[in-house]
Amino acid sequence: MDRLTILIIIPVLTVLALIFSTKRKSYRVIAAIGMSIQTLYSIYLLLEYLSIRQAGNTSEMVFTRSIIWFKPWNIRYEIGVDGIAVAMILLTSIVTVSGVFVSWRIKDLPKEFFVSLLVLATGVFGFFISLDLFTMFLFYELAVIPMYLLIGIWGSGPREYAAMKLTLMLMGASALLLVGILGLYMHSPLIEGQHTFSIQAIAHSPMALSDQLFFFPFVFIGFGVLGALFPFHTWSPDGHASAPTAVSMLHAGVLMKMGGYGVFRVALYLMPEAAHEMSWFFLILAGGSIMYGAFGALRQTDLKYINAYSSVSHLALVLFALLMMDAVSWTGSVLQMISHGLITALFFALIGMIYERTHTRDVTKMGGLMKVIPFIAMMYVMVGMASLGLPGMSGFAAELTIFVGAFQHSGVLERVFTVIAVLSIVVTAVYILRVVGKMLMGPIKTESFYHMDKARWYEKTAAILLLACILGIGIFPNWLYKLIRESVEPMIKLIQ
């Protein structure tokens, strides 16, 4: 058994255990244990990875393995990780385990809920370890499909509409993606008379510029939809608003990062020349939607909508940084993915906790929560601060890296959008503080708010776990920066 497959095996075994268990109370325990093991294993993997690098292994990917599973098309189960993937895996496991804790008291169909959640997680883990485009795509689909069930069954509000919209838009994106991937396959180098889906092989002999120009938009938009690229972001506010807490967490925290990761690993890495040619167009889209999402968030009153638009803004920053095509901004972009994953997961977790107590998500109807639920309120303030880029929190480290990287491009277009991106932090501060001021501070508005449950242990566990990671990265970002930077370096060298 090789190291990476275990990442898939653990959730699959957990799913099996869930299916065969019959006690209602035991489902959540099984899920929690499974995901805790997964988290510990991810940490172990990180340490293992670091020690391998320490020992002088400089190959791009480590722990690689390649098993052919569909000979006629040369589709392989080809896996391997670099620093970026390791970091994303760690993020995924942390978000998943806190998602399980947050849904501790789920009432309807708990077994099915946890099974879907874990299948989703399996897809994400598979996605991050795959080095074969087709296998990657397969895992991607595996992650998207349970989303439909999770929102459609356990959601709230117009959940069928939201679930349908989300799934259809992501499926539409997958269709584009599939075209792109097949295009990459058809133009891939011949190895022993066969084309290949292998990312590494394609990266080392990219296709001709004219073909790249044709297929690049397919892949970029295909992954971009998942990364909430304007104007294909509208599934995200509706989807998040309707999804149950843990799903919002996983979705915004991890699934949307697959978009950024895909853009990075497939679109930019495999078609660098096209990326250079066409970056101006996508730069306008991404750079514009940084401000656009921020202003959009300014006018929302539903907590989840605010957060969804905030995600649009922050993920646009990810795409923006990726399009800058240099080592510092790429590193910053991956940092931002991780940081935003943690921050937004915590945000959604807290929103879920607040909603459970107030039965509303409308900020104008709340007030003075600081007095009744101080723990949750304080956590909300902290994560708000992290989101608006307060130093000492992960958001700042990521954004600063992006800005410094982006500022090294002296082209007018890049400069203008960099300035816009920097100024977006002001708008971010406004919409975050508006919520803090309205909802947490001020007098208590409704009589029923006086009697609220304090945070429970599982809620505290999830929140503290996420916040500890946010603070940890924020205070000591260098090890993570180094981890990512070392893996970005060879990629940048290859595409320039």
Which residues here bind other proteins, judged by CB under 8 A? 164-165, 168-169, 230-231, 233-235, 238, 292, 295-296, 298-300, 309, 327-328, 368, 370-371, 385, 388-392, 396-397, 400-401, 403-405, 407-408, 410, 418-419, 422-423, 425-426, 429-430, 433-434, 436-437, 440-444, 477-478, 481-482
432 vs 366: CA distance, rounded Å = 15
Of residues 18 and 366, the one with the C-beta less far from other proteins: 366
Of residues 299 and 456, the one with the C-beta less far from other proteins: 299
Residue 481 Cβ, how far from other proteins at the closest point, in Å?
A: 6
Residue 378 Cβ, how far from other proteins at the closest point, in Å?
A: 8
Of residues 128 and 396, the one with the C-beta less far from other proteins: 396
Backbone angles phi and psi of 362, in degrees to 5 = -85, 115
Of residues 3 and 53, the one with the C-beta less far from other proteins: 53
Can you tell me whether residue 181 is helix, strand or coil? helix
For the chain, state the CA radius of gyration. 21
Both tokens of 335, joined, read 């940092």
Can you tell me whether residue 202 is helix, strand or coil? helix
368 vs 399: CA distance, rounded Å = 31
Q: In the chain, what is the straight-line distance between the N-terminal and C-terminal CA atoms, in Å?
A: 37
Residue 71 Cβ, how far from other proteins at the closest point, in Å?
A: 35
Q: Which residues contact 39 (CB under 8 A, 6 or more apart)?
A: 93, 94, 96, 97
Q: Which residues contact 315 (CB under 8 A, 6 or more apart)?
A: 227, 228, 256, 259, 260, 340
219 vs 361: CA distance, rounded Å = 36
Of residues 133 and 318, the one with the C-beta less far from other proteins: 318
Query: How far out from the chain centre does Cα 419 lie?
Result: 25
Of residues 95 and 369, the one with the C-beta less far from other proteins: 369
399 vs 402: CA distance, rounded Å = 5
Of residues 27 and 417, the one with the C-beta less far from other proteins: 417
Residue 422 Cβ, how far from other proteins at the closest point, in Å?
A: 5
Residue 291 Cβ, how far from other proteins at the closest point, in Å?
A: 9
63-69: which pairs have CB atoms within 8 A and are 24 or more residues apart? 63/2, 63/3, 63/4, 64/131, 65/2, 65/4, 65/5, 66/131, 66/132, 66/198
471 vs 346: CA distance, rounded Å = 12
Both tokens of 196, joined, read 């290949």
Determine the residue type at 48: E
Instruction: Find, among 132, 127, 51, the residue nearest to 85 by Cα.
Output: 127
167 vs 147: CA distance, rounded Å = 8
Of residues 179 and 422, the one with the C-beta less far from other proteins: 422
428 vs 424: CA distance, rounded Å = 6
Of residues 246 and 294, the one with the C-beta less far from other proteins: 294
Can you tell me whether residue 79 is helix, strand or coil? strand
Of residues 78 and 238, the one with the C-beta less far from other proteins: 238
Residue 170 Cβ, how far from other proteins at the closest point, in Å?
A: 12
Residue 445 Cβ, how far from other proteins at the closest point, in Å?
A: 11
Residue 81 CA: distances (Å) to CA of 92, 128, 214, 469, 487: 14, 8, 29, 22, 10
Of residues 280 and 392, the one with the C-beta less far from other proteins: 392
Cβ atoms of 409 and 330 within 8 Å: the answer is: no
Residue 423 Cβ, how far from other proteins at the closest point, in Å?
A: 5
Residue 88 Cβ, how far from other proteins at the closest point, in Å?
A: 20
Cβ atoms of 390 and 396 within 8 Å: the answer is: yes
Residue 292 Cβ, how far from other proteins at the closest point, in Å?
A: 6
In this structure, the chain runs to a length of 496
Residue 486 Cβ, how far from other proteins at the closest point, in Å?
A: 11
Of residues 111 and 438, the one with the C-beta less far from other proteins: 438
Residue 373 Cβ, how far from other proteins at the closest point, in Å?
A: 13
Q: Which residues contact 56 (CB under 8 A, 6 or more apart)?
A: none
Instruction: Find, among 428, 251, 242, 462, the residue nearest to 350 by Cα.
Output: 462
